[in-house]
């Protein structure tokens, strides 16, 4: 904010100095408003133009650029105004030096006058104002930095901060239309066949979780006959 105000003041002062400079003496007692704009490109003559044909018109245009730049906070417009003022001032000095052979500063006022110095100072002030002004982009960066430095405010109980975010089902939520898979059927042995016909219902598991159901006995392993040492049954 301070830089913006300081840059705007410098720019406005420079524009005012540039507009007032044609009313002062530029060279040998001749004010700047007596020089045509066209003479800066073709050569200095002794004719005196009207107010809208003199160098004052270029400085008024620079002043309008300055006001627009200050209002819009545009450094580019203010810098362009400074370039216009300095450019026309330097171009006049070149043409005036070609006309008289050389430029001199005399104490009796026969050389360069205060109007040229005032115009040059106005152009420099315009460029300084453009350099000091932060511009619109600088203000946006400061606002973003200020928002980033603010502490995070936790949401209230009505809107808790949860992750991942949940989405309530609604008309926009797409659901699958595929049929649900059917449960697989058991294809193992029948418990009734495991205990043989006529053995009655299969006993349940023991209290400790062990399976106490009797397993079928092979035909060559009759009950009560223990096998020999070579594996053959006795009897």
Distance CA 22, CA 54 (A): 9
Residue 132: half-sphere exposure toward Cβ, Cα within 13 Å: 19
Instruction: Give the torsion through C-alpha atoms of 98, 22, 17, 110, to 10 deg.
Output: 60
Is the pLDDT confidence value at 202 over 60? no
pLDDT at 3: 86
- Report yes or no: 37 and 58 within 8 Å, Cβ to Cβ: yes
Residue partners of 94: CB distance under 8 A and separation at least 6: none
List the helix and strand counts (H, then E) for the chain: 7, 2
128's tokens: 């300084």
| pLDDT 10s digits, 101-142 | 777 776 666 778 899 999 999 999 999 999 998 876 655 566
Per the model's pLDDT, the better-predicted residue between 180 and 207 turns out to be 180
| pLDDT 10s digits, 148-174 | 666 656 555 565 555 655 555 555 555
First to last CA, the chain: 117
Residue partners of 125: CB distance under 8 A and separation at least 6: 10, 11, 13, 14, 17, 82
Q: Count CB atoms within 10 A of the CB of residue 130.
A: 25
Q: Count CB atoms within 10 A of the CB of residue 54.
A: 20
pLDDT at 111: 79
| pLDDT 10s digits, 214-229 | 555 555 544 555 555 5
Instruction: For each of the domains in the chain, give its residue range(s) and CATH number, in order of start.
Output: 2-147 (1.20.140)
Phi and psi for 18 in degrees, rounded to 5?
-70, -40
- Global pTM reads 0.57
């Amino acid at each position: 904010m301070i830089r913006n105000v300081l840059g705007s003041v410098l720019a406005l002062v420079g524009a005012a100095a540039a507009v007032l400079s044609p009313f002062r003496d530029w060279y040998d007692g001749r004010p700047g408003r007596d020089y045509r704009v066209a003479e800066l490109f073709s050569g200095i003559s002794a004719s005196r133009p009207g107010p809208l044909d003199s160098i004052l018109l270029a400085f008024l245009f620079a002043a309008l650029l300055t006001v627009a730049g200050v209002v819009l906070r545009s450094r580019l417009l203010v810098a362009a105004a400074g370039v216009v003022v300095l450019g026309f001032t330097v171009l006049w000095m070149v043409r005036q030096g070609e006309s008289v052979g050389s430029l001199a500063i005399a104490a009796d006022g026969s050389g360069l006058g205060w109007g040229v110095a005032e115009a040059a100072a106005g152009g420099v002030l315009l460029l300084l104002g453009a350099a000091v002004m932060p511009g619109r982009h600088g203000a946006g960066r400061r606002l973003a930095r200020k928002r980033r430095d603010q502490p995070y405010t936790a949401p209230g109980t009505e809107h808790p901060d949860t992750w991942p975010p949940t989405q309530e089902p609604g008309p926009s939520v797409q659901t699958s239309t595929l049929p649900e898979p059917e449960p697989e059927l058991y294809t193992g042995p029948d418990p009734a066949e495991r205990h043989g016909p006529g053995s009655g219902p299969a006993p349940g598991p023991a209290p400790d979780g062990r399976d106490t159901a009797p397993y079928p006995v092979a035909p060559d392993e009759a009950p009560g006959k223990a096998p020999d040492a070579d594996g053959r049954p006795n009897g």
